Amino acid sequence: MASGARPEDGRRPDSPGSASAAARRRRWVALAAVLVLAAAFAAGVRHMQQAVANRPQVGRPAPEFTLSRLDGEPVRLADLRGRVVLLNFWASWCPPCREETPALQAFYERYGDRVAYYGINVAEPVDTVRRFLTEFGVTYPVLLDREREVTRRYGVTAFPETWWIDRDGVARVHWVGPMTFEDMQRLYEQTAGEPIDPEGNGPVAPGERLLDMAVDGAGRAWAATSGGLWRSDDGGATWRPVAGLQGAEVTAVLWLPPASGSAAGGGGGAGSGGPGGNAEPGRGRLLVAGPSFGLRVSEDGGRTWREAGEGLPAPDVMAIAASPSGRVLYAWVAGDGLYRRDDGAGTGRWQQVSGDLGPSLERAGLLVLDDEGRYLLAATRGGLFYSEDGGRTWREAGLEEPLLDAVPVAATQAGAGAAGEGDAVAGARGPVTVLLGGQEGLWRATWTAGDGAGSARVEAAARLPAPARAWAAVASASGGRYWLAAAPNGDLVRSTDGGARWEYVRGRRAP
């Protein structure tokens, strides 16, 4: 090409027109991309708005659905009108779901007749679901949401999630995360507008609570409640108020062997302990505590009472405990700490024990493990502590799983270990079997003093197959073969084979 010649299109390769056209094309491409993204964002916003609008809202009707049970039987939400409904969305791989399942099963066993109760498994194979149910002993109905349709309809974003629906089909509670048994009692009331136990249970009237329990040598059960002291002569089926204490808050109750020292009944819950035995009904002594009357003792089965708090600085006694023979007594006074007397419930005076367990510490269970009153065990909401010198110095007991996170708050001596079955635990160096009640169930544990100071341990022998719920008091009798546990609402379970099997006792208050 000759010098100065141009391309056939008449423009130079580096002309301004060529660069401008390319820039314009890039701008158009960028603008188109922005418009596409904006359209997609707007569609997403509309989808989210629609999902939010369609998901259930507390106070509005719950979305209808039909799902199949494991056996293929269909369940329609519409057919459950007239009942309180619980829908629990879960998956077997979810750790909080596994944590929650024992409480769900316990609640179903207790209240399945009052709640339409369904676990909804999300998109897992049937074999996986069956293995999970077998592992945890689940008997409540389970529905299968294979395609996640109901899960999306209810806006579930995490497991477990639970919806509570009232008798008219209106969603009343949306709960994210695991629930305890006590959570479910409270959420039922929030959903139904009435307590789940409108008439109370056993010795506990509506609005009251059970605080402690003991079993005497004749097998009679004594329940200390916020509304008085109650007695049952038939294993907890029928309860009668004890005269002179009706309407008074009774914080602790303890059965003491006869003054002769022969073995009588014993046991106790939060703040009492003693051996089993075969005393006649009229023998033994009953010790009770309450903020309005202090400490009282009865030697005739609760018919008459006398003062037994000489030397105590205040009437607010939170716990009482006795050595296996009943000779050494301890009392925990709120704000003042530990006191001791060495004449059983005689006429002596209480003496303060100068110890390093803070007097303001919230104490829940107290045990005396030997006849000399040297070895003590205190179950508190701040931990489990033991003393080897009569309460002067305390150490935190080394706990093994599963007790570490169980927060035991009630304790009773359930008998000596293999070294002295049924004996008064000579020296209490162990092993000693104790029954512990906590926020999540019951445990049979072994207390061992060890080889020297500071070596004591509380080892979990087994989590007992009792309902996974909070227990306020535990008691044992008959050498540790007969065990009772009481919940704050008055529910009572018993075992007659050392804790292998438990059954609810349906109690009522006598007219």
pLDDT of 8 reads 44
Measured at the CA of 76, the angle between CA 75 and CA 81, to 5 degrees, comes to 120
User: What is the pLDDT, as a whole number, of residue 379?
Assistant: 80
Number of Cβ within 10 Å of residue 444's Cβ equals 19
Q: Specify the pLDDT at position 481.
A: 74
Q: What is the pLDDT of residue 264?
A: 32
For 38, the enclosing helix (H) or strand (E) is helix 16-54
Tell me what pLDDT residue 9 has.
Answer: 45
* 337 touches 353 (CB < 8 A): yes
Distance CA 50, CA 44 (A): 10
Q: Which of 282, 273, 271 is nearest to 323 (CA)?
A: 273
How far is the C-alpha of 230 from the C-alpha of 252, rounded, in Å? 12
Q: Which residue has the tokens 């049924």?
A: 422
C-alpha separations of 83 from 142, 166, 198 in Å? 17, 7, 16
pLDDT tens digit sequence for 178-191: 999 999 999 999 99
Does pLDDT of 426 surpass 70?
A: no
**pTM of the complete model beyond 0.85:** no
Cα–Cα distance between 484 and 384 in angstroms, integer? 21
Report pLDDT for 56.
80
Residue 18 predicted with pLDDT over 60: no
Q: Which residue shows structure tokens 């292998």?
A: 500
pLDDT of residue 245: 94
Sheet holding 376-380, edge to edge: 363-368, 376-380, 383-387, 395-396
Q: What is the model's pLDDT at position 23?
A: 65
Each residue's pLDDT tens digit, 442-453: 888 887 776 666
How far is it, in rounded angstroms, from Cα 32 to Cα 285?
92
The residues near 37 (Cβ < 8 Å, ≥ 6 apart) are: none
In Å, the largest CA–CA distance within the chain is 136
Give CA–CA dist 499/17, Å, rounded: 94
Instruction: Give the pLDDT of residue 53.
Output: 55
User: Does 347 or 237 have the greater pLDDT score?
Assistant: 237
Q: Which residue has the tokens 């059960």?
A: 221
The residue with greater pLDDT, 250 or 10, is 250
The residue-averaged pLDDT of 366-387 equals 85
pLDDT, residue 11, reads 44
- Domain 66-192, what fold? Glutaredoxin (3.40.30)
**Average pLDDT in the 460-480 region?**
83
229 within 8 A of 241, measured Cβ to Cβ: yes
Looking at residue 286, its pLDDT comes to 93
Instruction: Give the side-chain half-sphere CA count within 13 A for 498.
Output: 9
Q: How confident is the model at residue 416 (pLDDT cuts 50, 70, 90)?
A: very low
Task: Say whether pLDDT at 4 is over 90.
Answer: no
Domain boundaries, the chain: 66-192, 210-509
Beta strand pairing call for 238-241 and 508-509: parallel
CA-based nearest residue to 244, from 231, 258, 256: 231
Higher pLDDT, residue 283 or 156? 156
Q: Quickly list H helices, 236-291.
A: none
Dump pLDDT digits (tens) for 158-209: 999 999 999 999 999 999 999 999 999 999 999 999 999 999 999 999 999 9
Q: How far is CA 482 from the centre of its chain?
A: 22
Tell me what pLDDT residue 198 has. 94
| Res 32: pLDDT | 57
Query: Could you tell me what percentage of the chain is helix, strand and coil, using 3-state DSSP and rounding each to the nearest 5?
Result: 20, 35, 50
> In the prediction, which pLDDT does 315 show?
86
For domain 210-509, give the CATH number: 2.120.10.30
What pLDDT band is residue 476 in, cutting at 50, 70 and 90? confident
| pLDDT over 60 (residue 276) | no
Helices (H), 112-241: 126-136, 149-153, 181-192
When mean pLDDT is compared across 142-151, 228-237, 252-261, the lowest value belongs to: 252-261
Structure tokens at 378: 């205190």
Which pLDDT value is given to residue 29?
58
Q: What is the pLDDT of residue 421?
A: 30
CA distance 86 to 171: 10
Residue 3 scores a pLDDT above 60? no
pLDDT of residue 96: 97
Strands 329-333 and 337-341: what pairing? antiparallel
Strands (E), 292-353: 294-298, 306-307, 317-322, 329-333, 337-341, 351-352
Is the pLDDT at 428 greater than 80? The verdict is no
The answer to whether 66-192 and 210-509 have equal CATH topology is no
pLDDT at residue number 435: 83
Assign 399 a pLDDT band (cuts: 50, 70, 90): low
The DSSP 8-state label assigned to residue 194 in this structure reads S
Cα gap 97→160, rounded to integer Å: 6
Segment 320-343 mean pLDDT: 91
pLDDT band at 42, cuts 50/70/90?
low
In angstroms, the CA 113 to CA 365 distance is: 33
